Amino acid sequence: MINFQPQPIKAKLSKYQFMTPYFPIYIVLDKNLSYSQNFAAWLEAKITIPDLTISNSNNETLLFLLEALQVTWESEGNPEKIYPLVVENIDLLEPHLIYILRKWTKQVFPHICQNRATKIASALVNFSRIIWALPDGDSDVNLEIALACCELALEVFNFDDFPYEWAIVNHNLAVIYQTRCYGNYTHNLIKSLEHYLQAKLVFPEQSLPQQ
């Protein structure tokens, strides 16, 4: 299920603001699994990632990533549950995390069924929403992490099987590229327009996201 309204946050997190055009995706659950199943433990037991555990820094980043996705999945993207974990590990929100994330998903996605892949993709999209709106850390790096999460989610959410989710992720990417600081300005605008036009295939009345 998709919720087109940003989730409210209590007063103690009042500085934590969402960008209005950015929409969350509720977790796609595998009905054959218990909801309380330990998401991260299953991934660690099922997937071996030897080249990501060579150094302590890689291992620390990977463990944080798995825990963050687990909390995101279990809370259905509730920022009040995820925000404290992210703030506690704010030093790990750096470009190296993007490398670990891309490497990890490249090894995970080919070896799991579609139901489990959709859970990870949903968690990635909701996690990207949290990182994007994060008031702490480097906002430009946070945006790059959000971008990577959404791009990786599109490896699972395709137009034929998940048109609704596919369109929402494309819309989110349109907003991200429009506000992106890294890279070539013209290239970012072109990418923003491309993703907007993709989203428009499903949401024809959707207007271009405004910065």
pLDDT in tens, 18-74: 333 344 443 333 334 443 344 444 444 443 333 444 444 568 899 999 999 999 998
- Can you tell me the distance from the alpha carbon of 51 to that of 12, in angstroms, rounded to the nearest whole number? 40
Write phi, then psi, for 179 (nearest 5 degrees): -105, 5
| Range list of H helices, the chain | 39-46, 56-75, 79-88, 95-108, 114-132, 139-153, 163-179, 185-200
109-128 mean pLDDT: 91
How many residues does the structure list for the chain? 211
2-14 mean pLDDT: 33
- Give residue 202's pLDDT: 87
Identify the residue whose tokens are 């659950």: 29
80's CB contacts (< 8 A; 6+ apart) are: 9, 10, 13
Q: Render pLDDT for 142-189 as a digit per residue (tens, 0 to 9).
A: 999 999 999 999 999 999 999 999 999 999 999 999 999 888 889 999
For residues 55 and 121, which has the higher predicted lDDT (pLDDT)? Answer: 121
Identify the residue whose tokens are 């549950």: 81
- Give residue 204's pLDDT: 78
Percent of the chain with pLDDT over 90: 48
Identify whether the C-beta of residue 16 lies closer than 8 Å to the C-beta of residue 9. Answer: yes
Show the tokens assigned to 148.
């990577």
Q: Which residues pair with 2 in a beta bridge?
A: 25
For residues 117 and 24, which has the higher predicted lDDT (pLDDT)? Answer: 117
For residues 12 and 107, which has the higher predicted lDDT (pLDDT)? Answer: 107
Q: Render pLDDT for 77-88 as a digit per residue (tens, 0 to 9).
A: 898 999 999 999
Q: Which residues pair with 55 in a beta bridge?
A: none
Q: Is 173 helix (H, G, I), strand (E, B) or coil?
A: helix
Quickly count: other Cβ atoms within 10 Å of residue 161's Cβ: 11
How far is CA 152 from each of CA 48, 75, 120, 122, rounded to the nearest angstrom? Answer: 19, 21, 10, 10
Q: Is 2 helix (H, G, I), strand (E, B) or coil?
A: strand
Residue type, 184: N
- Give residue 13's pLDDT: 33
Write phi, then psi, for 14 (nearest 5 degrees): -60, -25
- Give residue 127's pLDDT: 95
- Give residue 58's pLDDT: 62
Cα maximum dimension of the chain: 49
- Give residue 145's pLDDT: 95
Show the tokens assigned to 110.
């080919």
Report the predicted TM-score, pTM, of the whole model to 2 decimal places. 0.74
Quickly count: other Cβ atoms within 10 Å of residue 15's Cβ: 8
